[in-house]
Amino acid sequence: MKYINPYFLRNLLIKFFRFVFLVGISYIVLFPFITKISGSFMSITDFVDVQVKLIPKNFTLDTYKAIVLENKYWQALLNTSILSIGLGAIQMIVCALVGYGFSKFKFKGSSLLFLGVLLTMIIPHQTLQMSLFMKFRFFDIWGIGGLITSALGAKLPNLLGSAWPLIIMSATGLAFRNGLFIFVMRQFYRGIPDELEEAAYVDGAGPLRTFVQIILPLSIPMMVTIFMFAFSWQWSDTFYTNLFFSSSSNFILMPDIVKIPASLNSKGFVGQTAFETAINNTCGLLILLPLVVVYLFAQKTLIQGIERSGVTG
C-alpha cells in the first residue's frame, strides 16, 4: 500500500491510456490487412455464410493457386524484379551524383537549375502524360534524329512497348520522385564537412575520385534508402507502365496480375462482388509480399538512411 500515492496513480493512468491509444491505432491500421488476409483463405461459399466473419469455415488455398498459375505470377515477379532493381540502381547513382554536384559545386545559374529540380516535385505527372507519350513514340534528341532519319528516308524510332523510356527517364533524373531524391541527397551532402574533400584534394585526388573513395562510403545508408524508395515505387507503378507498355504487351508486370482467374469465375453467384473483391485483395497481398521481405532484410540500413536524411548544412 505504501506504493499507492498520487504520483504512482498518475503514471499508471498515463501508461494505461497510452496502451489503449496504441492498441486502438494498431487496430485501425492492421484491421484492413487482417480482413484481406482472412478473405484470401475463404472459399466462395464463405462469402454468403452470415456466420463467417474473420475466420474461414472452409479454409482453402485455391485463390492463391489460381492467381499464381493463371495470372502468371512468377513471370510477373521476375520481370518486375529485374525492372525495379535496374531502375532503382540507376536512379540511386544518378541522384547521388546530381545531389553531390548541387551541394558542393557552385556555378552561375546553379540556384536556378536546382529550382527546376524542385519544380519536378510540384508539377503533376499527369500534365506531362501526352508530351511523354509523343516524345517516346517519335523519339528524337534536339532534332538530330529527325535530320538523320529524313536524310536516310527512315522513320523516327518508337520506344513504346519497351523499357527504354523508363531507363532514359531514370538516367536523366526525371523518373518518379527523382526530384525528391536529389533534394534529400543534396541536404545529406551539405552536412558532410568540406575539410574531408579539401584533404583529398591536397593529396592529389580529383572531384570524381574524392566522390568515389571518400564521399560514397559515407553515403551508403542514404543511397540504400533512395534505392528502396525507387524500388518500391517502381514495383507497384501503374502510371508509367500503362503509359509506355501497351495492354497487348507480353512483358507482364506485377500490376497486371490483378484480375479474376478463369477458374474462379463467379458470374451469377450471389456473393460475386465480395468474392471478386477478395480475389483482387489477394492479388494485392501477393504484390506486397516481396516488398515486405525486402524491407525486413534492409530494415536497419533503411532506418539509418531516414535518420541521416534530416542532416542539413
Dist. CA 161–CA 163, nearest whole Å: 7
For 176, phi and psi rounded to 5 degrees?
-60, 125
The total number of residues shown for the chain amounts to 313
On whether the pTM is more than 0.75, the answer is: yes
Dist. CA 138–CA 160, nearest whole Å: 9
Dist. CA 40–CA 36, nearest whole Å: 6
**Residue 210: C-alpha distances to residues 92, 213, 218 (Å):** 18, 5, 12
Burial grade of 244 (CB within 10 A; 0-12, 13-18, 19 or more): buried
Q: Please list the pLDDT of the chain residue by residue as tens digits (313 residues).
A: 555 677 778 888 889 999 999 999 999 999 988 889 998 898 888 887 778 788 888 888 989 999 999 999 999 999 999 999 999 999 999 999 999 999 988 888 888 989 988 888 888 888 888 889 988 888 877 666 666 666 666 677 788 888 899 999 999 988 888 999 999 999 889 888 888 888 888 888 888 888 888 888 888 888 988 999 999 999 988 899 888 887 656 788 898 898 888 888 766 665 677 888 888 899 999 999 999 998 888 877 777 766 665 544 4
Dist. CA 190–CA 102, nearest whole Å: 9
Q: Is 67 in contact with 283 (CB distance < 8 Å)?
A: yes
CATH numbers and ranges of domains, the chain: 73-257 (1.10.3720.10)
What's the count of helices (H) and strands (E) in the chain, helices before strands? 14, 0
Contacts of 288 (CB under 8 A, 6+ apart): none
Dist. CA 224–CA 222, nearest whole Å: 5
Burial grade of 227 (CB within 10 A; 0-12, 13-18, 19 or more): buried
Strands (E), the chain: none
Q: Is 298 in contact with 211 (CB distance < 8 Å)?
A: no
